[in-house]
Structure formats: structure tokens, C-alpha cells
Structure 1
Amino acid sequence: MEVCKITVTDAALRKGAEEGMDGFLQVFIDKYLEVTGGEINKETMPLLNGWQHSLLGYHFFRQEVMEGGFVQLIQNGYGPYIFDNPFAKAMRLFGAKDFSKLLYEAKKIYDANRENLERDCTDDEFMAKYEKYEAFDDLEESYMDMEEIVTAKIAEYVDEHLDQFAKIVE
């Protein structure tokens, strides 16, 4: 196994854990965002391992879908990061099986409409995509219903496999 290059302090981890699962995960996410400059591209991809990318992918997924759904997630450039990588498989390995299935369903819609979904557009055209891609609505609603459970499963997985996500230092 590759040695983890990302480090977080034990103190930061304890403080995050005191804030609950969101705070615990945020310690890692903040470090990944710092290391990548918040940009995911060919220069920054090698800076994180697959497990770290999966956690960062969940961060972007959750943030975008909770705010503006799959259309916003894709329009903001995260479609390839989520759907062209083994993100759904990683979520299954993290224990979030229903979420993984949801991602595979969303990928079908994404793959069938990718060109139009990713196309730059005006604000009006962007808003029209919500009507055009109503197929995402049920998936978004399902995610909203499971979000807390999914986040808890991910936090539990990270806690049980810390060395995959960061080297803990004093």
C-alpha cells in the first residue's frame, strides 16, 4: 500500500470529531482542498490517492446536489470527477450501497445526455435544464432522504481506515 502523503494533526482530528461526523470529515476535506488548491485537474489528481479522491468527491457531490441538484453538479464541472471515476464503487466499499446504486442510475442519465448537460449556457438555459432533466428529481429526493445515513457510513469507514485518508501526526 502506498504511504499516505497527506497529514492531519491528531488535535485537529479530535476537535473535528467533537463537532460530529461532519466536523470529523471536514478535517480531511479541508486538507485535500488545501493540497489541491480546491482544483481537480491533471496537475492535482496525483496529489491524492483513490480513497482521498473518493472522500473529496463526496464532499463536492454533497455540496452541489444539496444546493442545486445534479444539473448544478454537472454544470459546475464535477460530472467527469463523479461519473468517469470509480466513485460509485468506492461508495459501495464505504458501505453506502443504496447511494452507490443511486449514483449508477444518475450516471445513466448523465451518459445519455452528457454533451448537453456539460454545455456552457446562459442562466435561462441553465434553469431550463432542470425541467428537461426531471429524471434527476427522484434521485435528488432519494439522496436527500439518505444523506445523513450516507455521511455517517462514510465517516465510519474513514474512522476505521484512517491510514488510507491521512497520516495522523502529533
Structure 2
Amino acid sequence: MEMNQITVSDADLRKGAEEGMDAFLKVFIDKYLEVTGGVINEKTMPLLNGYQHTLLGYHFFREEVMEGGFVQLIQNGYGPYIFDNPFAKAMRLFGAKDFSKLIYEAKKIYDAHRADLEKDCTEDEFMAMYEQYEAFDDLEEKFMEEEELITAQIAAYVDEHLDSFATIA
């Protein structure tokens, strides 16, 4: 599938931009979710380019971490998408340098405990992971504090490189 098949309307972008950075990014993210069916696997990976995957990765990261931290992000299957792809490097290139460092720090914990963090578990075992992996706590707190700034940095990058994220019609 060619990149140019991901098209967003200029009107939607303008409306999103007027509503703020979250709404602006949502125009792209909604389109990526539509194209992939909200599922990231070997069938849907080729449907998006690296820039689009990075933005979609940030969407999943933000949604999962804000709701249930790194444990939830990983338990819901997004560990490989975030930590095995050049997501952290891309965030640095997008201008979110401190966030990039935070991802690398989380990756160290993930890599060291991957099998345990990704294993199927009961609700009780899942809840116990929050105590077991308190190492994530400071990173989660830091992300919560900086989320607006990070989102603003990403929105600014997208705004300056629209062609990399979609064809505007």
C-alpha cells in the first residue's frame, strides 16, 4: 500500500488545529486506526510508514501509560511495538529528547524482565506486577508531568512535516 493512500482532509486538520494539539493529532491517529483496524501486526505494519507508526505508537503509549502505566502498556501487547522499534530514536528526532531518554530507561526494565512482563496472568498477578515493577513509577510520574509538553513537541513536528504523515486533500 502506498503512503499517499492515507489522506486527511484539510478542513478536518484546520478544525483540529483550532481545537488544540490533541484534536490536531487525533485527525491523523483516527485515520491510522481506521486503516489498520486498530491492530498492529505483520499484516498491518506495511500499511503505514515510519512517521505514521511513530505517531500511532505515541497514541498507544499515551493512552495505555496514562491509564495503567507501563505494566498495562506491556500487558496489552504494545511492548514490542514501542521497545523493539526505533520509537525512542524517532521521538528524539521529533524534538522530544527527554521523552526519548525516558523510553530508553523503560526499555532497560522491559528488556531485563520481558518474559515476566509479557506473560499471561490473572487479574491478581497483573495487579501484583505494579508492586513488583515499581521501577516504572518514576518514569510514569515524569511522563504524566511532561505529557502536555511532549504532545506539543510532537504536534509541532507533525505540523512542520505534514507530508510525512498524510496526504492533505
Equivalences for residues 51-66 of structure 1 within 5 A: 51-66=51-66
Tell whether the 8 Å contact from 1:4 to 1:163 is kept in structure 2 after alignment: no
- Aligned equivalents of 2:142 and 2:101: distance in 1? 11
Q: How does 1:76-87 map to 2 (within 5 A)?
A: 76-87=76-87
CA RMSD, Structure 1 to Structure 2 (Å):
0.8
* Cα displacement string for residues 88-107 of structure 1 (whole angstroms, at most 9, x for unaligned residues): 00000000000000000000
TM-score with structure 1 setting the length: 0.97
Q: Distance in 2 between matches of 1:37 and 1:158?
A: 22
Q: Deviations over 1:106-150 (max 9, x none)?
A: 000000000000000000000000000000000000111110000
Provide the C-alpha distance between the structure 2 equivalents of 1:17 and 1:148, rounded to a whole number of angstroms.
15
Residues in 2 aligned to 1:92 and 1:161: alpha-carbon distance in whole angstroms: 15
SS in 2 for 1:4: helix
The alpha carbon displacement at 1:5 in A equals 2.8
2:13 corresponds to: 13
Q: Secondary structure at the match of 2:168?
A: strand
Distance in 2 separating the partners of 1:12 and 1:105: 36
User: Which segments of structure 1 move beyond 6 Å, counting only runs of 4 or more?
Assistant: none
Deviation at 1:4, TM superposition (A): 3.3
Matched ranges for 1:1-170 at <5 A: 3-169=3-169
Give the length in aligned residue pairs.
168
Q: Which runs of 5+ in 2 are unaligned?
A: none
Q: Alignment partner of 1:120: what SS?
A: coil
